[in-house]
Structure 1
Amino acid sequence: MTLDFSKIKPKKRGDLPVNPVELFQNLKVSDPGINDLWLAQGDALREWHENRAKPDVGIVLNTGAGKTLVGLLMAQSLVNEQREKVLYACSSIQLVEQTTEKARGYGLDVTTYFRHEFSNDLFTRGEAPCITTYQALFNGKSKFLNEHLAAVIFDDAHAAEHLLRDHFSLRIARKEFSDVYAAVHALFKRYHDKTGKAGSYAELEDPRCHHLFLIPPFELHSQLGEMTRILHEARLQQEKSTMFAWEHVRDHVDTCCIMISGDDITITPPFVPVRSLPYFNTGVRRVYLSATLSAPDAFARTFGCIPEEVIAPTTTAGECERLIVIPSRANLERDDIEMAKDLIDRRKALVLVPTYSRATRWEDVVQPPPRNEVSRYVREFRDAPAADSVKLLLAARYDGVDLPGDTCRAMVIDDLPMGVGPLERYLWEHLRLSAILRTTIASRVVQSFGRISRGMSDHGVVILTGERLVEWVLIPKNRAVLPAFLQKQISLGDTVSEQADSIQDLLSAAEQCLTRDDGWIAAYNDYLTDAEPENADVDIELLTRLAKSEAEYGRLMWCREYEEAAKVLRATLDDAFAFSAGT
């Protein structure tokens, strides 16, 4: 049989739409929930289109305002314009799968990349964006480090900080590298003996010890040769748990912080040098999708810059009705966690905790899923009937989990959502940098509330437990950096909780909220209309200037441009000291 060459014709590309609104209008949408663009979505897309050539653009849309559709349209628009490779980064594999499913419903073709595999070759051919994870993008052996990229869309940019820090942090677990741990611990014993900390440092011999030690840079430099030998002989590049971070830090140990705790040693840069990566080169466009950019200093520490254009259309999406219950404020002589357990006993509920050790307080009710099975547990919880009293506990997961409407109407936020990394723990516990970390904590608090919220028509009960969290949200200076809408809800919840004389009073209040009781709705609407939020007494401009200085210092130190790094930091040193001596 001979080949009929007469049927071989060149494919006509046609005119691919670059305007994202026009692109949407040409889609064959199968998702029944999408009839047209919402007002805020259209406003965001049109304004971005006018500013699309700028290297860094922020898009702020509340949780529930259709941010995913906006981001995917921008990604495909950039592909159509440049016919080059465009990445769309998510914070987890679960969100990659969720975003891909939404793209199909919108009628958009995409490529996915996770677990070392591309789903198709559309990305390689410059025909569709690739949806991948921050992990795939920022690990030290990322295949994308050597790709020529036209643009990167960072979804949930407000949640990226700890993900980036994790990839630049080499953690040497005591259980896995007992000889390495012992050698490094011994290396710095003499220093701690000389400085009067021999007793507390010796306690690290017990793996359960919670002490955390920061090795001073001058002491690290004096022992650098021996430290390098120990790390080299450990063959960290061959172990899966260390090879990816080792790729980043192996030639930069002397510019990193060394932290020693009872169960591991962490080597991490004081400021993540994210701007040293090729994704931030000139010529690459970056779009940051976020539910909040109200903390520009935290954003600057994460990405090393502030977007030159921030697009934030006015929308009430995400401002759902909430009753916030604070059990410790009630007139009861009981532990607030035990009261919270009573409140959710017969309800389907999500429990958020900052650490796995904190999760042990809930083990008689629910245990966290295995780390590699979180996505499956979230799916099963979401699909469980609303009438079930099933519980889901997540540790240090304040983003990437969406449980709107009847999928979950009750949630517990237990303890302050601080970072789980040792450096941030050191800043918080030892240097008491509560002022400099205020906006970062506020961003995580806002993220936490968004887990069971979608739009104005949604409603639910949120229970706050843990002395540090309750104290934080009730301090006016802290509450002032939260959105005004959430401030009013916290104030209302505090008032309701203070009036409770029994657990039954709290149960009754929650029931009235969830059953849409007329009395509750009227009181809620009146309170939010009349309440006045706190005025923010925070110099965001100063905090942002300090954060940008730190980020640029971190990049220059990483590149070993020591003199320039010193100049950058010196320029803001007086301001930093005036703001906070610890800083």
Structure 2
Amino acid sequence: MAGFKLDLNKLSVGTDSNTASVPRDIFTALPGKLAKFQYPRDVQGQVWEEWYNRKDNSTNIIKMNTGSGKTAVGLIILKSCINDGVGPAVYVVPDSYLVEQVLEEALNLGIAVTQDEKSQKFLAGKEILVVNIHKVVNGRSVFGVGDEGSKIPIGSIIIDDAHACLSTIEEQFTLSIRRENPAYSDLFRIFESSMITQFSSKTLEIKSGDRNAYVRVPFWKWQDDINEITSILLRNKENSDLSFKWPLVKENLKSSQCIVSAGKIEISPHCIPIQMIPSLFNARRKIFMTATLVDESILASHFGITDDSLINPITPKAIGDIGDRMILMPQVIDPNITDLDIRNMCFEISKKVNVVVIVPSEHRKAFWLDVADEVLGKGNIHEGVQKLRNNHVGLVVLVNRYNGIDLPNSACRLLVIDGMPDVRRLVDKVTQSMLLGSQHTNDEIIQKIEQGMGRGVRSSDDYCAVLLLGKALTGAIFLGGSLDKFSPATKKQIALSESLVSQLPDTTLATIKSALEYCLSQDPDWVMASKSVLTNLEAAKRKGIDVDIVNRRKAYDLASRNMSHDAARILIEGAHADDIIYQGYLKEHAAEYINYYDKTEAQKMLKSASNDNYRVLKPLTGVQYLKLEGAALEQAKQCCNYYKYNFPTSNHLVVYINALLEKLIFMEETSNVFEDAIENVAKIIGFNSHRPENDTGKGPDDLWSLGDGEYLVIECKNGASSPKINKHDCNQLNGSGEWFIEKYDHTSRFTPLIIHPSTKIEHAASLRETSRVMTVNDLDKFKTSVSSFINSICSANKMHDESFIRERLIAHNLRAQNIVRNYTTAFSRN
């Protein structure tokens, strides 16, 4: 047989990986995959099968746990699409770091991929393009923008970690016009008078350069002057802060909102007009993959999805394959444990294992610098993560990075989520403010926290302890129904951890550290218990999508097609009284659409909205100011009633007050949260209070009724950094005093109070002689008294004992007559 040559091409062969359509068949037939991919996991097979049954749907949503082989699932699905002739195929991830991970996974599977959108093999449907979301969605996208059409057509596209892509998409569709841009002053000139009618003091603060103040432009002013606004933006579109985003936003200015601050003017559409990227919008098969998205409804606002895929995501039958996590909230276990205590404990643990801390801001990063071995940001994130994977580094801090980072196995054994996730855009700050007290406010926070907690466990064999730190954060999670918003697996792990805590002999930090060791040392009994609670865990039964978000998307799409009457109707019919604050928010949104065709009716709707939610825009006719009457009840009784209706247990009250007091800090860009906390701390100690300027556009930041005709007129300048109280701030406090005199009769007496780091006023400034200042030290002293007061009544379980509360109010100097005397300082002129 020597020299005999067979023509193998003539052999009859079965389906191969380049011709098969069924995902499992493709996986089995891949010739170059590594040995670890010999068999697919059960969860992968289940998802492939379900997707294949629905593959011809224009949209599908896949939910899989982190570490369950999600990337391989996505690559095989796109390979199936290519084999079906539905190419070109694009795999999209949140950032460049994750691009490398997908490329590596494709290499291990033996699937052809590229990063070059000009690749002829990609365009011909022979390989998959792997890119980050910014490559696809930007004002100069190589895929084409707006009227350019689809410069690079897409047949099938996967958006992996879809929830992590949302912030990039939001940023690309948001114009941020800096004060240095000539457009800023031209736009401010147009908006100024209407802003003053809404928030006169804040508008003056913006003019004076106060970085804490921001004001929303009323929608009627925006609509009336849209042509002049557009002309100003056109004249300046080549400016660096407009040039890359202008093509995405220019056709959607009419249905946008505008917020003005001292540093910038921000313009953003109510929903993302994703049709401005035609290749993405028109892709025949769109697959959104997510690990931790609690509610897929947000895909409606950002990707325009309103079909049945929202309510029928593809999930494996079992979802308990996420690995071992012990999740503890030390400051709920013992509210007296401080952040410093926990930091020191984490530092000790970091000497043996890698500890990763996720902080929300640069400000909070500073708290960890003394004990941090590494701080990772945009410039060094890839290198830092690789170092964690390969070595023992110690304690590593990540700034505002809740997604897109994989820290498997020894890369992270203790993960700390420190503080409330921050919102950056002004439009998000405005929305957050409008929805204070609504059940919707915590949804995004819970989503980010769950994303963050997923960083440290990347497979079913992995393990990681998790600490939730910060009294504001733990308060947001522990109070209300927030715990129920976590995924089923996370809820089970939290419940198991709480069960462990219930057996602790005490609540000292040393004991909590000992409890952590059960997870960190992988104690066999703990591992068995941890795995057992996840066994046969199934996806939660659908509670239904957030219809409000979907309705807002539908309304936005209708208004964009000049069908404003139908847009308003959808929102009005969707408004519901079980959440009155959100109902007011939706009514204001409806009023904006009504204003396109009936300005009078729009103002009527806005008036109704302001009755539901006093933080919405004020109607042109004004909102009648309702006096804050003196306490009808004795202070202790008022406390009792407030606790009874708001806190089911004393622990709830302790956690709440700790979270509330943590918001009372002197820091820039926290004015809204601070003013809200000042309002609520008054109620905790038995006083009536509200925020007149926020409620009606005029008056002080906060007003307290101390009883017997005595009031505190309060201006909050907790973000001030000047060495003296400037003339503008003095005039504002004096003006609030005049407002009080106008609104209240001669039997009412008031003390003007400014919260400011300095007691000295500028030479040219003046204040009423009765004016007082609450300084940093005064505020700290007040917070200590409030905290001690609450702890005293809760530790004695006397929340509903009027006599006991009265005694403690006296003991902690929190009676009406004590507030000015004990917690404020006289101002000085020198």
- Shorter-chain TM band: 0.7 to 0.9
Q: What are the residue-to-residue correspondences of 1:178-257 with 2, within 5 Å? A: 179-195=182-198, 197-205=199-207, 209-233=211-235, 235-239=236-240, 241-257=241-257
Normalised by the length of structure 2, the TM-score is 0.61
Distance change (3 Å), C-alpha of 1:134 and 1:341? farther
Distance change (3 Å), C-alpha of 1:336 and 1:496? farther
What amino acid is the match of 2:382? S
Instruction: Give the equivalent residue in structure 1 for 2:520.
Output: 514
Q: How far apart are residue 420 of structure 1 and its match?
A: 2.9
Contact persistence 2:408–2:456 (CA under 8 A): yes
- Residues of 1 paired with 2:33 and 2:487: CA distance? 35
Q: What are the residue-to-residue correspondences of 1:437-456 with 2, within 5 Å? A: 437-456=441-460
What amino acid is the match of 1:320? G
Q: What are the residue-to-residue correspondences of 1:434-583 with 2, within 5 Å? A: 434-494=438-498, 500-518=506-524, 520-521=526-527, 528=533, 540-541=543-544, 544-573=546-575, 580-583=583-586
Kindly provide the CA deviation profile for residues 132-181 of structure 1, in whole angstroms up to 9, marking residues without a partner as x. 1111111122121322221111111233332321221112234xx35443
Instruction: Give the equivalent residue in structure 1 for 2:792.
Output: none
State which of 7, 21, 26 in structure 2 corresponds to 1:23.
26
Contact persistence 2:371–2:395 (CA under 8 A): no
Q: How far apart are residue 317 of structure 1 and its match?
A: 5.1
Contact persistence 2:68–2:460 (CA under 8 A): no
Instruction: Give the equivalent residue in structure 1 for 2:159.
Output: 154
Distance change (3 Å), C-alpha of 1:191 and 1:360? farther
Work out the percentage of aligned pairs sharing the same amino acid. 23
Contact persistence 2:438–2:579 (CA under 8 A): no
- Residues of 2 paired with 1:377 and 1:522: CA distance? 33
Instruction: Give the equivalent residue in structure 1 for 2:261.
Output: 261
Contact persistence 1:327–1:340 (CA under 8 A): no
Instruction: Give the equivalent residue in structure 2 for 1:57.
Output: 60
Comparing 160-169 and 303-312, the one that deviates more: 303-312
2:176 is paired with a residue whose SS is strand
Instruction: Give the equivalent residue in structure 2 for 1:6.
Output: none
Q: How far apart are residue 283 of structure 1 and its match?
A: 6.1
Normalised by the length of structure 1, the TM-score is 0.85
What amino acid is the match of 1:211? A
Q: How far apart are residue 477 of structure 1 and its match?
A: 1.3
Q: What are the residue-to-residue correspondences of 1:300-315 with 2, within 5 Å? A: 300-305=300-305, 306-308=307-309, 309-315=312-318
- Residues of 2 paired with 1:506 and 1:485: CA distance? 22
Distance change (3 Å), C-alpha of 1:20 and 1:208? farther
Kindly provide the CA deviation profile for residues 35-59 of structure 1, in whole angstroms up to 9, marking residues without a partner as x. 2100111121122122211111122
Instruction: Give the equivalent residue in structure 2 for 1:10.
Output: none
Q: What are the residue-to-residue correspondences of 1:368-379 with 2, within 5 Å? A: 368-379=375-386
What amino acid is the match of 1:130? L
Kindly provide the CA deviation profile for residues 301-357 of structure 1, in whole angstroms up to 9, marking residues without a partner as x. 332224535221123454322222323234464532552343244412222223344
Kindly provide the CA deviation profile for residues 398-455 of structure 1, in whole angstroms up to 9, marking residues without a partner as x. 2211111111111111223354332222222233264234443333222121111123
Contact persistence 1:337–1:465 (CA under 8 A): no
Matched, 1:413 2:417: yes
Number of corresponding residues: 555
Kindly provide the CA deviation profile for residues 485-510 of structure 1, in whole angstroms up to 9, marking residues without a partner as x. 32233244456668554332232222
1:323 is paired with a residue whose SS is strand
What amino acid is the match of 1:27? L
Q: What are the residue-to-residue correspondences of 1:164-179 with 2, within 5 Å? A: 164-174=169-179, 177=180, 179=182
1:413 is paired with a residue whose SS is strand
1:324 is paired with a residue whose SS is strand
Distance change (3 Å), C-alpha of 1:84 and 1:326? closer
Gaps of 5+ in 1: 1-12
What amino acid is the match of 2:141? S
**RMSD over equivalenced CA pairs, Å:** 3.3
Q: How far apart are residue 268 of structure 1 and its match?
A: 0.3
Contact persistence 2:377–2:398 (CA under 8 A): no
Contact persistence 1:325–1:463 (CA under 8 A): yes
Instruction: Give the equivalent residue in structure 2 for 1:141.
Output: 140
Matched, 1:328 2:331: yes
- Residues of 1 paired with 2:56 and 2:435: CA distance? 42
Contact persistence 2:153–2:279 (CA under 8 A): no
Of the two, which has the highest radius of gyration? Answer: 2
